[in-house]
Amino acid sequence: MFITGQLAAIYLSWRLAIVAIPALLMLIIPGLVYGKLLGEVGKKIQEAYGIAGGIGEQAVSSIRTVYSYVAEERASKDYKNALKPALELGIRQGLMKGMAIGTFGITFAVWALQGWYGSTLVINKGAKGGNVYTAGLCTIYGGLALGGSLVNVKYFIEANIAAARIFEMIHRVPGIDSADEQGKTISDVKGEVEFRDIEFEYPSRPGSLVLNKFNLKVMSGQTVGLVGTSGSGKSTVINLLERFYEPLRGDILLDGVNIKNLPPTWLRNQMGLVSQEPVLFATSIKENILFGKEDASTEEVIRAAKAANAHSFISELPGGYETLVGQLGNQISEGQKQRISIARALLRDPKILLLDEATSALDSQSEKAVQDALNQASIGRTNIIIAHRLSTLRNADLIAVIQSGQVGESGSHEQLMQNSSGTYAVMVQLQRTYMNDEVMLEDMDKEHGSAFPLDDGTSQAEETPDKSFSRNASFGMITDQKQEDDYGSPSLRQLISMTAPEWKSTLLGCVGALGYGLVPPLNSFFLGALLAVYFEDDHAQIRSQIKIYCFVFLAFAIFTFLANVIQHYYFGIMGETLTKRVREAIFEKILTFEIEWFDQENNSSGAICARLATDAVMMRTLVTDRLSLLTQAVSSATLAVVLAFMLSWRLALVAIALEPGVIAAIYLREMTTRIMSKKILKAQSASSALASEAVGNHKIITAFGSQEKVVKLYDRSQVSSRKESNRQSWYAGVGLFISQFLTSALIAVICWYGGNLLFQRKITYKHLFQIFFILISTGRVIAETATMTADLSKGTSALKSIFRILQRETKIDPENSDGIKPETINGGIEFKQVYFIYPARPKQIILRGLDLKIEASKIVALVGRSGSGKSTIIRLIERFYDTLSGSIEVDGINIMCYNLRALRSHIALVSQEPTLFAGTIRDNIAYAKENATEAEIIEAATIANAHGFISYMKDGYKTYCGEKGVQLSGGQKQRIALARAILKNPAILLLDEATSALDVNSEKLVQDALERTMSSRTCLVVAHRLSTIQKADKIVVIDKGRVIEEGNHSELLVQGEKGAYYSLVKLQQLSVI
């Protein structure tokens, strides 16, 4: 349009074009300046929001830890502080935008120049007024088209900022490229592995050598065990063999070939990895197992599950292998998750099996069965096993003791035991001493059947015989979801109440928008008058009127600048403040919801963070950018109608009568886009959740070479979104065509009817020109308003999502004002006929009339196989869920009568999978007590046996843990989590396999520390390692959601083989060295 406009101007009046075209360059400068400034500020805004988003994702993904430590207020505070820089930058961006767009008032200065020079051409050169004026229109509208397009540079800049980061990742050449297929492969892999003089430090902790001159040779078919204290480098050995990292110096060989010369994906396909912390994805059990071998048949999947002792509990689930495990596998127990992970590794039939504490999460029964399966699976392959439980390594061909990043001792179990003062022998003796109370089992009668048979089901997935339980729970879930889906569009009153705090900024922004909206019709009015001047015969009259109009256009230039600055600056303040406040409100509200809400598929951490990132922005777009445009449109249209009626009511009536057709086209387009936007947002949330999960578990994806599978899943999750977007684009395009066609038809009718009125002398040509330009400018405003229909529909969907969250009533109110807020509690706990099902699995009853009494200041241990309901009991004490029936009392009062946050302030939880946050070690320990002193933190760390390794680190307590503690070993993370719980000094201490990740030395020290800590407080301990609970005041055996035995260690053993606890101890005793 710019090029054709200038060519037409040159043809009509080359003199005017030569003067006007250089001036038009001034129209380009604002767009370029705006684009550059926006790019710089926009990048900083995205970075600021990225930091805030990370904090939000961290809190939501670790919501149980946040709730347990009553840290909702702290999480909200951190999130609010992270949003402040974005607020300041956003306001600055609004000011820049107003100044840049305001400089488009130069257009009116160019009109003044053309008006003056055009009049001299008419007076002095005898140029035709029509040609001069038309040439001016061509140059101006061509320049405006170019300048207007440059305003859209901001969208390209924003896209460019986002694309730059994307392409930076796409084009980044990784140090270890998984997609690199170059290099040779080994035709017949034997599985011989050798580490030669390996030196390694993690990139995030330079200067701290983890492995130092590490040498180890693993012969083909050997089983090699790695033992040592937490943080000694055992897991690092596996990380290097998988080529997650490259060593600083030294070589790693597979069958004599340096693994650097082997394609990474091919190398990893020769290995099967089972990590200490089982990682599952939010899909079905079958799909999770298939990560091990994508093209495996169903029979192969079942065979692998049976080998991992997982088939029985999977078969008992209502959905079988198609059962969804939830985000991070939170719908099944830890033992079940670990067995699925083992099945995944066994499915690929690897040449090398890597087991990093593969059985640490299993109870005695499951461990024995899985260990037997692993022993069978290890035949004919190389096995590298990391284990704290030394009993699992007794039959290893070679045991390597890692100390200070080197192999301190190596040999078979018998060889190492010959050196009674050696590290390994001391560790074994310590573990033997720790578990020798069960020696009496050897002398007891062995003829009776076990009360806890191994081949009994290992899951609590059976369907309850009482169908009313599952039916009612299922109805509750459906009702809750249906209420959310049926939430109506928010009312205008709700929207006004949301924006009320910014009413001053909104008012001033509207004043600026109203003022700027008056400019187009007034400009059109004077343009029509200017055209009429060129046809005057009196040259003096031409000079006089042109002078007036030139001053008018110059005034328009100044007024346009001021109106835009006022409009965008104050709307910027309003929009950014609103965005920040809405994000804070959503985040705070989410932190009041019950855990059940987070268990729902649509409320994964990725989906929630996607809503936090987009909904508030879409709301800002609706109530600021769109309000600004709408205010301008109303202002322009109102003045245009008034002026048109003043000039010619006949022509005005005809034009206005045709406007409903344009409005109908716009409305049709808006309705179609609104309907489809909801489907698009839902599909995008699913893909965001998958992406978040994939990034968080990239090590497992890399280890199994599942990048392509994850990409396919991600692509599949976006199919519906793409289809709906394409359909929306077609409908939007058709709607825009209709609206623009009707606008053009309106112009044609105006020209035709105006010509007839002019012929009948019912209108002057001056008034005809003025009405023509006025109504054209109004048509342009309406066309611009039509472009916002898509944003309106998206904004409405975002508003609906926002109000759905803000107005939702949580099922478990954490801040019940009527609840009891005890200053202290004794810690007595009692379960009375408790029935419970997880809302996400309404057909599976977990607790079946559970009766359990825990006296204050006593230590009570819960034992039983995986899925029996042990961890569920702890979750109910924390009131993460409410019971289906029955009651839970603390100090004789139903926990539903307490203020929940006050109750949780007296409880500390240490889970099997320790949750750390992306901060320093000090920050993570102090999470339990915000105003803790340095002395208190060090004391807690010392009790948890963490002070030693922390002090050894270069930065000590200021060492950065990484996201979810990725920079620390499992044992180190667990000890920091223990220190955090100790610092809280709770009346009730809940330990869910709290020492499962620790080596023997650390476990003994931490267990001793916990025993000291347990005194004078109520302690509920879930343990698979029965040696850790022998000193408990009471041991409770849970089976199928009921208490089947209880008593202390000695009392339960006296029952002999008829006793369930006896059977568990006997089973575990068989694996003791």
Which pLDDT band holds residue 165 (cuts at 50, 70, 90)? confident
**Does the structure show a pLDDT above 70 at 364?**
no
Q: In the sheet where 893-894 sits, what is the strand order?
A: 845-854, 829-837, 885-890, 893-894
Whether the pLDDT of residue 899 is over 50: the answer is: yes
Regarding predicted confidence, which is higher, 631 or 230?
A: 631
Q: Which residue did the predictor score with more confidence, 260 or 498? A: 260
- Give CA–CA dist 667/789, Å, rounded: 8
Residue 787, CA distances (Å) to 317, 389, 740 in order? 51, 66, 11
Q: Partners of 402 in the beta sheet? A: 407
What are the pLDDT digits (tens) for 577-594?
988 988 899 999 999 999
pLDDT for 947 beyond 50: yes
Question: Do residues 810 and 63 touch, judged by C-beta distance below 8 A?
Answer: no
Nearest to 391 by CA among 1000, 1022, 1019, 859: 1000
* Mean pLDDT within 155-181: 76
Q: What is the mean pLDDT of residues 94-118?
A: 82
859-880: average pLDDT: 90
Please tell me the predicted confidence (pLDDT) of residue 613. Answer: 79
**What whole-number distance in Å separates Cα of residue 757 and Cα of residue 404?**
99
Residue 677 pLDDT class (50, 70, 90 cuts): low
Is the pLDDT at 655 greater than 60, yes or no? yes
Mean pLDDT over 600-616 rounds to: 79
Give the per-residue pLDDT at 366: 62
Distance CA 1062, CA 147 (A): 84
Worst-scoring range by mean pLDDT, 38-52, 105-119, 171-185, 272-286?
171-185
Q: What are phi and psi of 982, to 5 degrees?
A: -65, -40
Residue 407 scores a pLDDT above 80:
yes
pLDDT classification of 836: cutoffs 50, 70, 90: very high
Question: In this model, does residue 604 exceed pLDDT 90?
Answer: no
Most distant pair of Cα atoms in the chain: their distance: 129
Task: State yes or no: pLDDT of 93 exceeds 90.
Answer: no
| pLDDT of the residue at 100 | 80
User: Which pTM value belongs to this model?
Assistant: 0.65
Residues 425-437: what's their mean pLDDT?
Answer: 65
Highest mean pLDDT, choosing among 37-46, 406-415, 668-677: 406-415
DSSP, res 491: P
Neighbours of 545 (CB within 10 A): 18
Is residue 1072 pLDDT above 70, yes or no? Answer: no
Per-residue pLDDT at 791: 62
Comparing 176 with 189, the larger pLDDT belongs to 189
Question: What are the tens digits of pLDDT across the range 497-546?
Answer: 777 888 888 899 999 999 998 988 898 888 888 877 877 778 788 888 88
Q: What is the mean pLDDT of residues 476-501?
A: 58
Cβ 71 vs Cβ 588: under 8 Å: no
pLDDT of residue 565: 92
Model confidence band, residue 924 (pLDDT cutoffs 50, 70, 90):
very high
pLDDT greater at residue 766 or residue 34: 766
For residue range 707-744, list pLDDT tens digits in order: 777 888 788 777 777 777 777 777 767 766 776 777 67
* Residue 697 pLDDT: 73
Model pLDDT for residues 955-977, shown as the tens digit of each residue: 899 998 877 777 787 778 888 98
**CATH topology match: 193-434 vs 444-486+812-906+989-998+1018-1073:** yes
Query: Per-residue pLDDT averaged across 618-640, rounded?
Result: 83
How many Å separate Cα 404 from the centre of its chain? 37
Contact predicate 146/27, CB 8 Å: yes
- End-to-end, the C-alpha distance of the chain in Å comes to 86
In one letter, which amino acid is 807?
A: Q
In the chain, what percentage of residues exceed pLDDT 90?
A: 19
Report the amino acid identity of residue 962.
G
Reported CATH class of domain 444-486+812-906+989-998+1018-1073:
alpha beta
Q: Looking at residue 878, what is its pLDDT?
A: 93
597 closest CA partner among 326, 414, 950: 326
Question: For 892-923, b where at least 16 C-beta lie within 10 A, e where not — what string?
Answer: eeebbebbbbbbbbbbbbbbbbbbbbbbbbbb
CATH number of the 193-434 domain: 3.40.50.300
* Higher per-residue confidence, 178 vs 809: 809
Q: DSSP string spanning 795-829?
A: HHHHHHHHHHHHTPPPSS-TT-TTSB--S-----E
Least confident of 192-201, 207-216, 370-379, 759-768: 370-379
% the chain with pLDDT above 70? 82
Average pLDDT across the chain, whole number: 80
Any idea which of 34-48, 852-866, 910-924 has the lowest mean pLDDT? 34-48
For every residue of 756-772, DSSP letters joined together read: HHHHTTSS-HHHHHHHH
Q: What is the structure's pLDDT at 450?
A: 40
pLDDT (average), residues 440-447: 36
Residue 661 pLDDT class (50, 70, 90 cuts): low
Structure tokens at 565: 């600055």
pLDDT band at 1061 (very low <50, low <70, confident <90, very high): confident
3-state secondary structure 427-439: HHHHHHHHHHHHH
Residue 70 has pLDDT above 80, yes or no: yes
**pLDDT, average across residues 908-920:** 84
- Tell me the pLDDT tens digit for each residue of 445-482: 333 334 434 333 333 333 333 333 333 333 344 344 44
**pLDDT score for 237:** 92
Q: C-alpha distances in angstroms, 404 versus 199, 213, 248, 384, 1000? A: 12, 10, 17, 19, 17
pLDDT at 212 over 60: yes
pLDDT at 675: 56
Q: Which residues contact 770 (CB under 8 A, 6 or more apart)?
A: 524, 525, 527, 528, 529, 643, 647
Tell me: pLDDT of 635 over 60. yes
**Domain segments of the chain: what residues?**
193-434, 444-486+812-906+989-998+1018-1073
Q: Residue 408 is which amino acid?
A: G
Q: At 566, is the pLDDT very low, low, confident or very high (cuts 50, 70, 90)? A: very high
